[in-house]
Structure 1
C-alpha cells in the first residue's frame, strides 16, 4: 500500500513523498473439508450395502482405526441388545450418535425388512469413515439363533496388504445370513492391518485385528449377544467366516470350536461338517483334534475364548471347555472365487445342521 510520509534530509530540510509499504499477507490455508455422511444411499440389497461399507472402512496402513472408549463400547453393546429385542426406531446414545446411524432397510431382492447399525461420519479422510467401528444387522423374523460374523473384512484383494485380508469373506457371510433366516450379522469396521501398531492384548497382532483384541466394537457386540441369549436361556451360535491361502493348510476347509480338540459326535460343529461334506463331497474338510497339521485352530481368538467360558483376561487365558457357541471356519480363497455357489452350499449346510 502507499502512505504519505515526511522524510528528513541533510541540513534539516524536509521532503514529503508517497512511500510504498509492503504489508505481508497471512498464509492461505485450505478450509477443512466439511463432514460427509457415508450412508450408502444407492444400495438396495444387503449384499450391495456390505460391499459399499467395506469400501469406505479404514484401509491397510491408513492409521484410520480408532479404538472406542469404554463408554462408547458399552453404548454400542446397548444398541445391539435393543436391536436383538426387535427395536430399530431408537435414538442412539450420545457417545456414538455423531458417528453412527441406525435405520430399517428393505432388501429389494427378498423384500424383507432388516435393521442396520452402521458408521456413517467421514470428516478426517474423504470417503472413509472416521472410526472403523463396524456394522451390525438384525433380521427380527429370523428363525435361527445364529450370528454370522466377518471379523477380517477385505473388499479388494489386489490392493496393498494382500496377505492380510480374508478375501471377500464378508460378502459370503452376508449371503449366508440372508439365505438361512438367521438373526444377525456382524462385520468389523476396519481392515485388520488398518493400524500397523502392535496389539496391547496379544503381541504380534495388529491393533485393529478384532480376533486378537478386546477394545473394539466387535468384541463388545459378541458380549452383548451372549448376554442377550444367556438371559433368556436360549442356545445360540456365532459362526466366524474366514479365508486362507491355499498354501497355509492342505485342506479346503478347516473348522474349529476355538480349542484344539476333536468336536464331539452330535455337536454343532460335527453336524455342520457333515452337512457341508454332503453339499460339497469333493472338498477336503477337516477339524481340530484330527490328523490335520493346520495351525488355524482359533485357540487365541478372544471372542472364541469368551464364548467358550473364559470370564476374565481373555487376552492371555486359553479356554478349557467348549460351549458350542463358537464355530471358526477357514476356507481356501479359491472357493470364494465362485462366491454365490459357495455361499449357497454353506447356506444349505447351515439349514440342515441347525433345523
Structure 2
C-alpha cells in the first residue's frame, strides 16, 4: 500500500515543478495548472484568509482519499509577503499542535511559504532505509525528516531551490527555513524551546557570527514567559539537534544524493536552517502572537515593508 501511495519518478519531478510554480504566483492562482502527471491528484486553489483581506494559494490534493503527499501554501499576492521565511510542519498528528502553530505564524508574520506533511511519521512503522540510527529505535519510512523518498523532502528542496534562484538568495538577515517540531514533557524537560541548526554542541553556536538562530533565541527570551528556558546546543544537553534531518542536511550543504549518509561540517552551515523542538506549552495558541513578535524582531522584512521594527521592544515582553 505504501508503494502504491508513493509518487513515481515522473510524479516526483512534477510535484517539485508544481511547488516551484506555486512559489512564483502573484495574483494568478486560478490560472495555474498542475503538470499532467499530477492533474488527477492535485490542484491549485485560491482561498481567502478568515478575518483579513489576504488571499492564499494552495497546492492541495483533490480527494479526501489522499496519497498523503502534503500541502504547500503561499500568499497569492507577492505584495503581502512581509518576511522571506519558509515555515514547515513535518510531523502532523504526532507533534501535536505544530501544524496549527506553523499555520498561525505563517499568517501572523506574512511569511513566504508554509509546507505541511501529509502523513504522520508512524503511518507505516517500517524502518527507513535512508537514515539508520545507531540505537535500537528506527526512523520510520513515513517520517519525512529522515526519509528522502517522502514527498515532503521533494517539496522542501523545491522551496529551497526556488529561494536561492531569486536575485537576493537567502541572506541571514532576512531569510530562513524553519521547521516546527514538538517534544514530550519527559524529553529534555528543562527546555521549553530547544533550537538547533543541524549541528551538535559546537563553537559554531558561540562564535561572533550573528546567525539567525542566535537572534531568535534572544528575541524569544524577551517575548516568551520569563521562566521558560530557551536553549541552543551550546546551552543544553538535549540531544534533539537535527543532525540526521535530511532536509536540514541538504540546506546545510550536503548533496541530495548523500543526505541519508552524510552530515555537514560546521564550516558548511550557513544558519538558514532552524529546527525548533518545543514543549506542549510553547505550541499553544496563547503564545502564537509572542512567537510572531520574536520572528518579526529576528528578521528584516521585505523591502516594501521597511517600516516594520527590526528589534523587539523589551517593554513588549513578558519579562
TM-score (norm 1): 0.74
TM-aligned CA deviation for residue 353 of structure 1: 0.2
Which residue is equivalent to 2:310?
A: none
- Find the partner of 1:340 among 285, 290, 301: 285
Distance in 2, matches of 1:199 and 1:91, equals 33
- Find the partner of 2:89 among 137, 144, 150: 150
Distance in 2, matches of 1:110 and 1:340, equals 18
Name the one with the larger strand percent.
1
Which residue is equivalent to 2:147?
A: 213
Which residue is equivalent to 2:269?
A: 322
Which secondary structure state, in structure 2, belongs to the residue aligned with residue 79 of structure 1? Answer: helix
Aligned 8 A contact 2:252 2:273 in 1: yes
Deviates more, 1:210-219 or 1:221-230: 221-230
Which residue is equivalent to 1:96?
A: 38
How many residue pairs are counted as aligned between the two chains? 275
Gap regions ≥5 residues in structure 2: 133-137, 301-319
Which residue is equivalent to 1:273?
A: 217
TM-score (norm 2): 0.82
Which residue is equivalent to 1:83?
A: 22
Distance in 1, matches of 2:114 and 2:4, equals 21
TM-aligned CA deviation for residue 91 of structure 1: 1.4
TM-aligned CA deviation for residue 166 of structure 1: 0.3
Counterparts of 1:83-232 in structure 2 under 5 Å?
83-86=22-25, 88=29, 89-122=31-64, 129-139=65-75, 140=78, 141-154=80-93, 165-203=94-132, 204-232=138-166
Distance in 1, matches of 2:118 and 2:73, equals 13
Deviates more, 1:211-220 or 1:171-180: 211-220
Which secondary structure state, in structure 2, belongs to the residue aligned with residue 74 of structure 1? Answer: helix
Distance in 1, matches of 2:68 and 2:106, equals 22
TM-aligned CA deviation for residue 63 of structure 1: 5.9
- The C-alpha deviation readout for 1:12-66, integer Å capped at 9, x for no partner, is xxxxxxxxxxxxxxxxxxxxxxxxxxxxxxxxxxxxxxxxxxxxxxxxxx96982
Aligned 8 A contact 1:199 1:206 in 2: yes
Gap regions ≥5 residues in structure 1: 1-61, 123-128, 155-164
Which secondary structure state, in structure 2, belongs to the residue aligned with residue 172 of structure 1? Answer: helix
Query: Does the C-alpha gap of structure 1 residues 166 and 115 become closer, same or farther in structure 2, counting only changes over 3 Å?
Result: same
1:313 counterpart = 2:255 = no
Name the one with the larger helix percent.
2
Larger radius of gyration: 1
